[in-house]
Structure 1
Amino acid sequence: MQDFSFTTTKTIACAAGAAAQLAEYCRATGASRIMLVTDTGILNAGLLDNVLPGFDGLDLRLGIFDRVEADPKSATVEAAVQAARGLGAEMIVGFGGGSSMDVAKVMAVLGHPDCRQSLDELYGVDNVRGPRLPLLQVPTTAGTGSEVTPIAIVTTGKTTKAGIVSPLLQPDTALLDPLLTLGLPPAVTAATGIDAMVHAIEAYTSAHKKNPVSDMLAREALRLLAGNIATATHNGADLEARSNMLLGALYAGQAFANAPVAAVHALAYPLGGHFHIPHGLSNSLVLPQVLRFNAPVAAPLYAELAPLIMGGDCGGGSPQQLTEQLICWLESLIAELRLPNRLRDCGVTEDSLPRLAADAMEQQRLLVNNPRAVSAADALAIYRAAY
């Protein structure tokens, strides 16, 4: 057996209606001052309406920071930390998509009364010194898997993002309630679902830290995600499909938290930074072309995944033939989900492609995990193929 290590969130609770018990989960930690981190869309959609009453009568003081935006800026993170310190928070709850959960992770560190680090000191790998506050995550999308990953992504400049990677960011508890995802718009369901599929595919083919536990989770994630994404997108009230998507996204998050993602994400980040394309859609836009680029090296692994993803649509053939079938199937799926499939369809300009390629090469933390080495010329060629 190969040497490996695997870590994940300590407690995972998954049940329809589980979010209504959030206050009880918080009280069980012994904390009395809770800071909940979310965004205005969550509040306006009424997703907290059945959650907040649970705090009444439990002698818990609840603060809400609701100013998290997509691709949260460093200034937003700093403001959230100040809110937690002002409350004297003893516990942090992330409630929302990946952005809210990522901000919650950083708050749990910088909001601790004994923390002596600044936000700028956290960027990179293993730079978090701790301690941190207890951290509970409640995802409202089935995509990022942030509820089970030790990673937070922060927008650090006008077009740049940076990652914070540390075991100390691993949440203590993930509370999964598929009822929270029933109101997701089709486009969000589709894009976040593709994001989760990318997590699983890249974990399975990661050049570093690929391991049998992540492989097992990636395979099961892809079976659940590929088998339910169309139903969840086109019939958003299907609770079984929503539950399977949420669980699949969690499995994919566990997989890539231990066998990290690679070139799809590296090329997706600049699209979000320059053109404010949502992260899941950014991944979807470059996924087929990155897989084609990787195929000369990764085809045997892609061929193993093809039957799980394609189901009865999977034919026979060599690893290379199965890989091309898989890529074509994914392209058809993206079209069926009515997601844009060309960069030009999302406002990306052709003259920006060299800049995007240069920025993608700055994501060496991710590119080193790719099964095939990526040069600046390769990155530009992938963008041109996706354009």
Structure 2
Amino acid sequence: MHPTQGQHHFSRQDALIWGRPAAEVVALHMQTKGLRRALIVTNRSLTDSQLLSGVKEALGAACAGVFSECTAHSPRADVLAGASQARQAGADVIVAVGGGSVIDSAKLMLACLWLNLHDDEGIDRLQAGDFADTLRGEHAVRMIAVPTTLSAAEFTHLAGVTDTRTGSKQLFEHPLYVPSLVVLDPGATRDTPDWLLASTGIRSIDHCVETLCSSRPSPYADAMALHGLKLLSQGLRSFIAEPDKPAHRLDCQLGTWLAVSGPVAGVPIGASHVIGRVLGGAFGVPHGHTSCVLLPGVLAWNASADNGRQAQIAHAMGAETNESAAAAVATLVRHLGQPGSLRDLGIQREHFSLIAEKSLTMLAHPGCDGNPRPIHSASQIFEILDLVY
């Protein structure tokens, strides 16, 4: 059953191209759109990769430089440094090559370029909403994204950036943060470690699950999430068995696209995402690993509020008869060789109070109130954490 009222938000993304070499697509897009100076934003692990070399070669003189200092969880310092290099280079487009942290950093770099922000004070003002009337971006520098993981940051208009002064992940939102073009090239994942591709695949399964279980679902998002769940569940198993086959990687990429359609359209997320953001910002846990650990426990905790959605999830994942959704996710996590407990992540019980405090704050943010079983207290967060400890 769906709510008798609702709303759906369409993304400002212009195009998605899949199955073609990223270098070829990026260069053609630059030429077609009359773009002349591209700053490539990436991380050090990709600096000497064939992927990055191919993009630089294809761009030729249109490559205005490479910023390769992006690090995990998108700290503000990376954003400010990248924006400064883009400004000095006179870039008219940013080409983000990497995973979620690279792409989220690039999103906020755009805002720094639009508003001429140079320091933490400027980002503080942006976080406070001081630029609400001026941050329109009609003629703004935009982004092309070449994702190398399955995190799906390339499809959202949200940027998660860490304020290292407080150890908190902050969310920034603007419709033009979403890349104007996304290129899904299976070859772009070749240099990504298998553990990272597999764990971010579970992150995208988390998108599917929390879309389907959301307190405010929608028919469009349900359809996307169910098919995305099938593609990801099958694609991840096939990828582990035959990692050299591009078709398996592409199935996972396409599943990732479908998986995030719900959150992009305004379906609110649940406790797995919310607590996961806290583990990322405060403890540096990779987002893929937060989903590997938290999602089975959140599903189990939410079972008392389930209206039949969890059975659909288990079926879409190809679960054994009578296997619960929580068990189906946990089984896949083990099959992929990913961590399955907070202890595996180095999180101890003495950390629970801090996690609960920050999670309750995050739950109050727009779009974070989709858990089907309402959470009102720290003790409820403790219950979830105990299930996955």
Residue 357, structure 1, aligned to residue 356, structure 2 = yes
Cα distance in 2 for partners of 1:61, 1:289 equals 46
Cα distance in 2 for partners of 1:338, 1:115 equals 42
Cα pair 2:356 2:381 within 8 Å, conserved: yes
Residue 36, structure 1, aligned to residue 35, structure 2 = no
Moved more, 106-115 or 269-278: 106-115
Cα pair 2:149 2:189 within 8 Å, conserved: yes
Cα distance in 1 for partners of 2:207, 2:243 equals 22
Task: Note the 1:187-206 alignment, pairs <5 A.
Answer: 187-206=195-214
| 1:23 alignment partner AA | A
Residue 180, structure 1, aligned to residue 180, structure 2 = no
Tell me the secondary structure at the aligned position of residue 374 of structure 2. coil
Residue 136, structure 1, aligned to residue 139, structure 2 = no
Percent identity of equivalent pairs: 27
Cα pair 1:353 1:383 within 8 Å, conserved: yes
Tell me the secondary structure at the aligned position of residue 129 of structure 1. coil
Cα pair 1:137 1:147 within 8 Å, conserved: yes
Moved more, 109-118 or 299-308: 109-118
Aligned twin of 1:285: 293
Moved more, 347-356 or 3-12: 3-12
Cα distance in 2 for partners of 1:268, 1:347 equals 14
| 2:353 alignment partner AA | P
- Could you give the per-residue CA deviations for residues 113-150 of structure 1, whole angstroms, max 9, x where no partner exists? 778993223337895823131221110112x2111111
Task: Note the 1:323-338 alignment, pairs <5 A.
Answer: 325-338=324-337
Aligned twin of 2:223: 216
After superposition, the Cα gap between the structure-2 partners of 1:212 and 1:120, relative to the gap in structure 1 and judged at 3 Å, is: same
Cα distance in 1 for partners of 2:207, 2:34 equals 34
Cα pair 1:109 1:130 within 8 Å, conserved: no
Cα pair 1:155 1:161 within 8 Å, conserved: yes
| TM-score, structure 2 normalization | 0.90
2:250 to 237, 243, 248: 243
Cα pair 1:124 1:164 within 8 Å, conserved: no
> How far is 1:61 from its partner?
4.3
Cα distance in 1 for partners of 2:83, 2:147 equals 20
> How far is 1:27 from its partner?
2.3
Tell me the secondary structure at the aligned position of residue 306 of structure 2. helix
Q: How many correspondences in the alignment?
A: 374
Unaligned runs of 5+ in 1: 316-321
Aligned twin of 1:18: 22
After superposition, the Cα gap between the structure-2 partners of 1:362 and 1:252, relative to the gap in structure 1 and judged at 3 Å, is: same
- Could you give the per-residue CA deviations for residues 319-339 of structure 1, whole angstroms, max 9, x where no partner exists? xxx5x6221121111111111
> How far is 1:34 from its partner?
1.2
Cα distance in 2 for partners of 1:114, 1:362 equals 30
| 1:381 alignment partner AA | E
Cα distance in 2 for partners of 1:72, 1:361 equals 22
Cα pair 2:225 2:259 within 8 Å, conserved: yes
Cα pair 1:264 1:287 within 8 Å, conserved: yes
Aligned twin of 1:256: 263
2:305 to 287, 294, 297: 297
Cα pair 2:292 2:330 within 8 Å, conserved: no
Tell me the secondary structure at the aligned position of residue 265 of structure 1. helix
> How far is 1:44 from its partner?
3.0
Aligned twin of 1:152: 159
Cα distance in 2 for partners of 1:170, 1:224 equals 23
After superposition, the Cα gap between the structure-2 partners of 1:28 and 1:330, relative to the gap in structure 1 and judged at 3 Å, is: same
Cα pair 1:367 1:373 within 8 Å, conserved: no
> How far is 1:199 from its partner?
0.8
> How far is 1:176 from its partner?
0.9
Cα distance in 2 for partners of 1:115, 1:77 equals 10
Aligned twin of 1:339: 338
Q: CA RMSD in A?
A: 2.2
Cα pair 2:276 2:294 within 8 Å, conserved: yes
Cα distance in 1 for partners of 2:214, 2:64 equals 41
Tell me the secondary structure at the aligned position of residue 251 of structure 2. helix
Cα pair 1:187 1:233 within 8 Å, conserved: no
1:167 to 167, 171, 175: 175
Cα pair 1:182 1:239 within 8 Å, conserved: no
Cα distance in 2 for partners of 1:356, 1:196 equals 22
Tell me the secondary structure at the aligned position of residue 152 of structure 1. strand
| TM-score, structure 1 normalization | 0.90
